[in-house]
Structure 1
Amino acid sequence: MNYLSFVFMGLLYFPKMLKGKKIDVIIVFAPSPITQVIPAILLKWLKRAHLAVWVQDLWPESLSATGFVQKNWMLKLVGYMVRGIYKCCDTLLLQSHAFFEPTKKYAPAEKMVYFPNSMDATGSSIVDQTIPAALRAELESNFSVVFAGNVGTAQSVESIVEAASILKNEPGLKIFIVGSGSMLSWVAEQKAIHHLDNLVLPGRFSMSAMPEIFQRSAALLVALKDEEIFSYTVPSKIQAYLAAGRPIIGALRGEGARVISEAGAGLVCAPESGQALAETILTMKKCSSTDREKMGSSGINYFNENYDMDLQSDRLIDILTARLNRR
């Protein structure tokens, strides 16, 4: 109902909001669901504008991988819908190189352009006293591994809990899951059942608090399920982790793992394996502080070369200008 209400309200109100205004380009930032593009298609026709969709998620593959849709006939219907939506788009901005091959099933290659996620690193400076004193003290007094963001089915939180169980007797090491999501209550139950005092669930914080949490962490953790669809994507938190200048532990395959390794910004292990994750966390802990600082510095350098907001904004202008001129 939430997805459908956005489509309905968009079709009803967006044309009124833009009445009398000349529009050159319409850009849709498109994580799930892809249906959010539908109101933009109407605007494209009304305004005779160029429609660019920044594809963050592969449909219908992501529906199947997360288990929300499992019946083949439904997935085929979603596939037809995706093909129709992409047909109405002029440019598909793909956040990962690996997105090209699966997207070719639904759209011609000439519509596709690689355009990764970016972030404004100027907002990454530390503002002290933005997190509770108790949390600050706990982060600083331990080798703190922080997972931040959505705590959902795609994030393989089961392997994080398993790793915490394996490491529960490791002195001075704690894993923090900062955020919220559909799996958070399950994680809390497992923490209580297995008496995982080394697993900390501080809750959700504003974006302004994240730089302080990151900087007081020993390492930052990103994890995904071991599904082919997730090997195509680069989770946006990787850019945030790189910009933070802290070493990264990646329990994932594919593009996300490639970025971490190529940047020299951390260690990578197999996804959905609590044992592999626990061993990698211990390996990171045994690294010298100098080695971990080098990983963090390499991450910042890689971010500045590939994901800086100013750099990416200029490139987006170039891409859209070239496409408008070609039209």
Structure 2
Amino acid sequence: MKKKKILVISQYFYPEQFRINDICETWVQKGYEVTVLTGIPNYPQGDFFNGYGYTKNRRQMHQGIDIIRIPIIPRKRSSIMLGLNYISYVISGKLWSLFNKKEFDYVFIYEVSPITQAIPAVSIAKRLKIPCYIYVMDLWPENFQIITGINNTFVIGMINKIVDYIYKNCTKIFTASKSFKKNIEERGIDSNKIYFWPQYAEDFYQPAQEKSPKIKQDGKINLTFAGNIGEAQGLDILPAIAEKVKSEKMNVRFNIIGNGRYKTTLIAEIQGKKVDDMFRFIDPVPPEEVPSILNASEFSLITLKKDEILSMTIPAKLQSSMASGAAIFLIADGEAQEIVKESGAGYYNHPDDINGIMADLRKITKKNNDHINQMKQNARKFYEKNFDKKYLLNKMDEFLTK
């Protein structure tokens, strides 16, 4: 049987850490021929990774995946550069589509921000007369407004037209949350082509046997955040919480692992409140290390800024944490709260409810290990029932082969 050829459009790809890496690797293992059109890696720190650039590693084979890197402007650390980064991918992608000679059976768009990356994908699908699928994990223009703070009517109106054009010209739309599905339906998009397809966690996210030495074992209760440190994560609440925790002499520590545009500001706010001793900042680690880090922590700390659109999001680290058998300390609204509540995997609070957060922190300082271990078991059981990788990818196979 002839291999089906999938062109994946994703502005981010290996060595940047996104779940599309694993999806593509699994597709190769299943017998698909996978080509990825991506940018030069620069997320999240904003500069090109070592060994990559306009003249370096523009074409790669990785785990059987043909990676084509089109030139883009690095995102750096300003909104202007981020905008240029987004635009440059669209321009380069459109140019590539004009000169591409390869044939494909499907186009698959991995849509974390920006949705504009789907523009060249739609063009390619139209020219080759093939199905175009999009996996939506960020809603636009709402996510654009959160990231940039821009609410200009003309700008938002233009983005809305782009979004409608993309959705209408995609054969199928997959969403990472049920709320996203409802939001897209309310735009007037045919509900029959929209499907809820939640994220899974890669195979290495398993309950670890060992405890990472990067998390101190000194009797303190460790709440560990691992991931991108951006404004959308809502970590700005932590200095105020830490101030109260310190005043009550609670035996709690916050570990922050990763990089991002908000990290410098967060450190300054922590220093301003003189709560440095309540925090440990750890450089980014390979995702494969996360399970042992979470095993060395009492709770996986997952936070999102208070926002109507973010409340529709199920952050990917929730699946990763539950797959790793971690108890959850969630500071977020919406679907993520419903999952933690239904699973019995931990504590959950609204992002602006400092009193509720403090009440739960007091509880965890009084609970014994058996209580926390039960939450960890609940997390893993819920993951296996609802977010199993094999089941979800088999479901995607059905869409690809119909």
Q: What is the percentage of aligned positions where both structures have the same residue? A: 23
Instruction: Indicate conservation of the 8 Å contact 1:52/1:91, yes or no.
Output: yes
Deviations 1:62-108 (A, max 9, x none): 22234432212211211111001111111000111111222121522
Return the offset for 1:246. Answer: 1.4
- Structure-2 change in CA distance of 1:20 and 1:32 (3 Å): closer
- Structure-2 change in CA distance of 1:127 and 1:205 (3 Å): farther
Hey, what's the Cα distance between the residues in 2 that align with 1:187 and 1:40? 37
SS in 2 for 1:122: coil
Deviations 1:4-46 (A, max 9, x none): 11112222235655x243x222111101000111121122123
Instruction: Give the counterpart letter for 1:54 in structure 2.
Output: Y
Instruction: Indicate conservation of the 8 Å contact 2:222/2:252, yes or no.
Output: yes
Hey, what's the Cα distance between the residues in 2 that align with 1:86 and 1:25? 16
Matched, 1:292 2:372: yes
Q: Which of 162, 165, 173 is matched with 2:252 structurally?
A: 173
Q: Which of 234, 239, 243 is matched with 2:323 structurally?
A: 243
Instruction: Indicate conservation of the 8 Å contact 1:3/1:35, yes or no.
Output: yes
Q: Which has the higher contact order (CA 8 A, sep 6+)?
A: 1
Aligned to 1:25: 106
TM-score normalised by L of structure 1:
0.90
Instruction: Indicate conservation of the 8 Å contact 2:113/2:138, yes or no.
Output: yes
Once the two structures are superposed, the pairs formed by residues 307-322 of structure 1 within 5 Å of their partners are 307-322=387-402
- Structure-2 change in CA distance of 1:74 and 1:20 (3 Å): closer
Deviations 1:186-228 (A, max 9, x none): 1111222222111111232221221221110000111112211
Superposed CA RMSD: 2.0
- Structure-2 change in CA distance of 1:241 and 1:125 (3 Å): closer
Hey, what's the Cα distance between the residues in 1 that align with 2:352 and 2:262? 15
Instruction: Indicate conservation of the 8 Å contact 1:158/1:272, yes or no.
Output: no
Runs of 4 or more consecutive aligned structure 1 residues displaced over 4 Å after TM superposition: 14-17, 125-129
Matched, 1:78 2:159: yes
Once the two structures are superposed, the pairs formed by residues 107-256 of structure 1 within 5 Å of their partners are 107-124=189-206, 126=208, 133=213, 135-136=214-215, 138-139=216-217, 141-169=219-247, 170-196=249-275, 197-256=277-336
Deviations 1:125-178 (A, max 9, x none): 64969x6x5x33x15642100111111111111212211111125343201111
Instruction: Give the counterpart letter for 1:4 in structure 2.
Output: I
Q: Which of 81, 84, 87 is matched with 1:4 structurally?
A: 87
Return the offset for 1:274. Answer: 3.3
Matched, 1:277 2:360: no
Hey, what's the Cα distance between the residues in 2 that align with 1:230 and 1:86? 20
Hey, what's the Cα distance between the residues in 1 that align with 2:105 and 2:194? 19
Aligned to 1:52: 133
Instruction: Give the counterpart letter for 2:220 in structure 1.
Output: N
- Structure-2 change in CA distance of 1:287 and 1:72 (3 Å): farther
- Is there any run of 5+ residues in structure 2 with no aligned partner, and where? 1-83
- Is there any run of 5+ residues in structure 1 with no aligned partner, and where? 323-327
Greater shift in the superposed pair: 26-35 or 8-17:
8-17
Instruction: Indicate conservation of the 8 Å contact 1:159/1:277, yes or no.
Output: no
Instruction: Indicate conservation of the 8 Å contact 2:97/2:123, yes or no.
Output: no
- Structure-2 change in CA distance of 1:148 and 1:275 (3 Å): farther
Aligned to 2:40: none
SS in 1 for 2:223: strand
Instruction: Give the counterpart letter for 1:34 in structure 2.
Output: I
Return the offset for 1:307. Answer: 1.2
SS in 2 for 1:121: coil
TM-score normalised by L of structure 2:
0.74
